[in-house]
Amino acid sequence: MFDFAVFGSLFLTLFVIMDPPGITPIFLALTSGRPAKVQRRMAWQAAAVAFGVITVFGICGQQILDYLHITTPALMIAGGLLLLLIALDLLTGKSEEPTQTKDVNVALVPLGMPLLAGPGAIVSVILAVQHADSAGAQISVWAAIAAMHVVLWLVMRYSLLIIRVIKDGGVVLVTRLAGMMLSALAVQQIINGITQVIEAR
């Protein structure tokens, strides 16, 4: 039987961690200057990549981390460093790359992972799957994961309308703001990882 409590709890947790409203300016900054068709494709590619990563870790994430001897704090620090590199490019305006290279990279990194399917979301899903001790709970967990990624796709897909309103000057401003937000998020993620390492000793 479908467990609405499990569904609601995981959906809200993922909503806070993955932050669909907060992803909007970053998505706009990373996809500006491309044809609308390419931007729409990148929106669903990023959501699909994030869903794929989350699914893999939901099914066998703990085994993967144990096999590679990777701790959660290490995952958080690595993700934070990767996000910080992207944020610095946005802040300094050095994100202009050849279109084809960037088309692939933006959908996979940083949008799909680690921005959407980051350490926080991965750990939350691993724990939710482990604690789902019935068929109904498992269905509720995976329904919450699927629903969250549909929301992410819709937010990115329709955020493209904003580009038509704010024009090129607005896109530059959004890019700088997104870089600042992303750098703060990256630093916070690194701090959280280091804090967990210290507390574990």
73-119 pLDDT per residue, tens: 888 898 888 888 878 877 886 654 434 334 455 778 888 888 899 88
Q: Is the residue at 27 inside a domain? A: no
Burial class (CB in 10 A: 0-12, 13-18, 19+), 178: buried
Q: Is the residue at 26 inside a domain? A: no
Between 79 and 132, where is the model more confident? 132
CA dihedral 132, 58, 120, 5 (to 10 degrees): -30
Q: Is the residue at 28 inside a domain? A: no
Q: Is the residue at 90 inside a domain? A: yes
Q: Lowest-confidence range among 24-38, 68-82, 161-175?
A: 161-175
Alpha-carbon gap, residue 79 to 118, rounded angstroms: 7
pLDDT band at 14 (very low <50, low <70, confident <90, very high): very high
Alpha-carbon gap, residue 129 to 41, rounded angstroms: 30
Report the percent of the chain where pLDDT is more than 70: 93
Q: Is the residue at 86 inside a domain? A: yes
| DSSP tag of 34 | S
Give the per-residue pLDDT at 103: 44
Q: Is the residue at 25 inside a domain? A: no
Give the per-residue pLDDT at 94: 61
Give the per-residue pLDDT at 115: 86
Q: Is the pLDDT assigned to residue 166 strictly greater than 80?
A: no
Alpha-carbon gap, residue 123 to 91, rounded angstroms: 29
pLDDT band at 67 (very low <50, low <70, confident <90, very high): very high
Q: Lowest-confidence range among 73-77, 98-102, 151-155, 162-166?
A: 98-102
Number of H helices, E strands in the chain: 7, 0
Q: Is the residue at 29 inside a domain? A: no
Q: Is the residue at 32 inside a domain? A: no
For residue 68, give its domain range. Answer: 4-18+37-98+109-200
Structural domain count of the chain: 1
Which pairs with CB-CB distance under 8 Å and at least 24 residues apart come from 175-178?
175/28, 175/29, 175/32, 175/90, 175/93, 175/95, 176/90, 176/91, 177/25, 178/25, 178/26, 178/28, 178/29, 178/30, 178/90
Alpha-carbon gap, residue 79 to 50, rounded angstroms: 14
User: 4 near 140, Cβ under 8 Å?
Assistant: yes
